[in-house]
Amino acid sequence: MIDIPEPVADLHDALISWFERNKADLPWRRTRDPYAIWLSEIMLQQTQVATVIAYYERFLARFPTVGALAAAPLDEVLKLWEGLGYYSRARNLHRAAQVIVAQHGGAFPASVEGLRALPGIGDYTAGAVASLAFGIDAPVLDGNVIRILARLFDIPDDVTQTGTKQALWDLARRLVPARRAGPWNEGLMELGRVICTPRSPSCAACPIAAFCRAREHNTQEQRPVKKRRARTPHYDVAAGVIRRDDGRFLIAQRRPDSMLGGLWEFPGGKREPGESLRECLQREIREELGIRIEVGDQIGTIRHGYTHFRITLYVFTCRYVSGDPQAIEVADWAWVTLDDLERYAFPVTDQKIIALLRDGGGQLGMDLI
């Protein structure tokens, strides 16, 4: 067990006082509404604060209550989430809202356990909502807090290992000050965002530097300890802007249980060994939609990185040849015009294809649409 220095109240006072004086004025800090706090915590996962603010305000304006969110079609939720990424967050948000309405009468569970039982809510989010909205003495532990604790207590163990994570959760629980969990947790989040950053932490400006064992031992740049990541795999992917004789083109909706589930895309897929990009595209369209196409010119190359892999997406114009589209390996499909696309939610790569089509104008637009 990691030992905590006494008196720990001095540590609590130092961080909370600093936070109260220096906290950024963020919209979710102006409320104790559990719905608004929950929304912000979900949006802030894997996403920068500056990016989240506009999405958060638009989302609350459209869905001001958990009931409004629960009643909305998933397509509309995904469209409003478009560009924020990690779309499973939006699907789980929608499902959780429906559970809250159906099983809790529209009221958020006021306990860590009750929050933890909702779709898409893990230990961190349950602790954040419980402490910030309900004043419950619950800990939080995310990447920022792990980094702070690993430096504060100069922990030499690999923080990606299960045993170390369990020890960190235990430490986080023991550190929570009674009746002050909210400002303590927010202080940790703010400290990790602006002071105790992953590289070149601002130790001279840190309000708890006097308690930091890594700073004392000059090991802050070596904490937290993490195993080296494996090389990120890369895949070649082909996508087709498939035009029909009437000028409409084909889009497909990804299955709900797949990556980017529920979003729409220009159909295609990953190239297999030994395939050309054109062969890949013809095969994928046949397997996914049951139609034959003629692959034309390549009109764009898009590079994009996901959490665990990278892709190079090659975009081709295509001509529809024969067959009635079927939802074989997709959730749905539609023949659309360029103007129709405003009604559909697309991932970032396909938004770039749309931008390519819009920017083409003139000859490119006439050729494709």
Query: Which residues, in sequence order, are CB contacts of 298 under 8 Å at separation 6+?
Result: 277, 314, 315, 316
Active site residue 265: no
The residue from 6, 41, 57, 76 that is catalytic is: 41
Query: Which residues, in sequence order, are CB contacts of 282 under 8 Å at separation 6+?
Result: 292, 293, 295
Cα–Cα distance measured from residue 17 to residue 187, given in angstroms and rounded to the nearest whole number: 9
Query: Which residues, in sequence order, are CB contacts of 192 under 8 Å at separation 6+?
Result: 143, 144, 145, 147, 148
Q: What is the largest CA-CA distance in the chain?
A: 77
Indicate the burial class of 274 (C-beta count within 10 angstroms; 0-12, 13-18, 19 or more).
exposed
Cα–Cα distance measured from residue 168 to residue 256, given in angstroms and rounded to the nearest whole number: 34
From residue 263, alpha-carbon distances to 102, 236, 259, 319 in Å are 26, 20, 9, 23
Alpha helices in the chain (DSSP H): 8-22, 34-44, 49-62, 66-71, 74-81, 88-104, 112-116, 123-134, 143-152, 162-175, 181-194, 213-217, 277-289, 348-368
Instruction: Please identify every residue annotated as catalytic.
Output: 41
